[in-house]
Chains A and B, each alone.
Chain A
């Protein structure tokens, strides 16, 4: 059983579209992280959330603690947004992260 579930697994969008990636988790957490991984590259941290909403440029992340759900939104998507987006949680017990399997996003010009 995965502690963290993401959807969709794969997503193709036209440039300019509004994109939403969803993450649900089943354990108590201290924080939820959205990460970006480009092919052949390392992982970059986009957001760390424990409540509410954060915005950085065209990226918006929200979290609902009661529903154990988070969303990552990309407005006015661009081909350079093409990457794998990974949701991860850090638990309020223990010291590790638990990762979702990632959402592979392709934005077509």
Chain B
């Protein structure tokens, strides 16, 4: 596809369930970012990949959050033992190199019940 693709668009999880969110960046984009956006707030940084290397994971809120990009293209954000405070929109962005113009996906809206 031409843009950043995220799946699923919507996910409802029971508290304690594990979830996996997928991001397909624009082909050839080196940089990939994950952000968490709570309702009514701006996006908050979670983690950054350059190719397959996770260079910054300082924004991950707890050890229940894990991200990978094993082949330097598709990335997966995994949340273990989900809790209600994890409910948010999870945004993925990719860019050609350092944050010049970034392209954002549609986001995955996660609701933990």
Contact = CB atoms under 8 A, between A and B. Distances in A.
Contacts, number: 69
Contacts of B4: 42
Interface in B60-113: 91, 93, 98-107, 109
A96 interface: yes
Interface of A is mostly: strand
A94 interface: yes
Given A42-B91, A94-B56, A99 B104 contact: no
Nearest to A45: B101
Given A95-B55, A96-B33, A30 B107 contact: no
Interface string B30-69: 0101010000111111001010000110010000000000
A43 B104 CA distance: 6
* Chain B interface bracket (under 10, 10 to 19, 20 to 34, 35 or more): 20 to 34
Interface residues of A, number: 24
A48 interface: yes
A18 interface: no
Given A41-B106, A42-B107, A43-B91, A96 B45 contact: yes
B53 to A, nearest CB: 11
A100 B104 contact: no
Contact of A97 (B45, B106, B109): B45
A31 B106 CA distance: 23
18 contacts: A31-B100, A35-B104, A40-B109, A41-B106, A42-B105, A42-B106, A43-B104, A88-B42, A95-B48, A96-B45, A96-B48, A97-B102, A99-B42, A99-B44, A101-B40, A101-B41, A101-B42, A102-B41
Given A42-B105, A44-B104, A95-B98, 15 more contacts: A30-B99, A31-B100, A33-B101, A33-B102, A43-B104, A45-B103, A45-B104, A48-B101, A95-B31, A96-B33, A97-B35, A99-B42, A99-B43, A101-B40, A102-B41
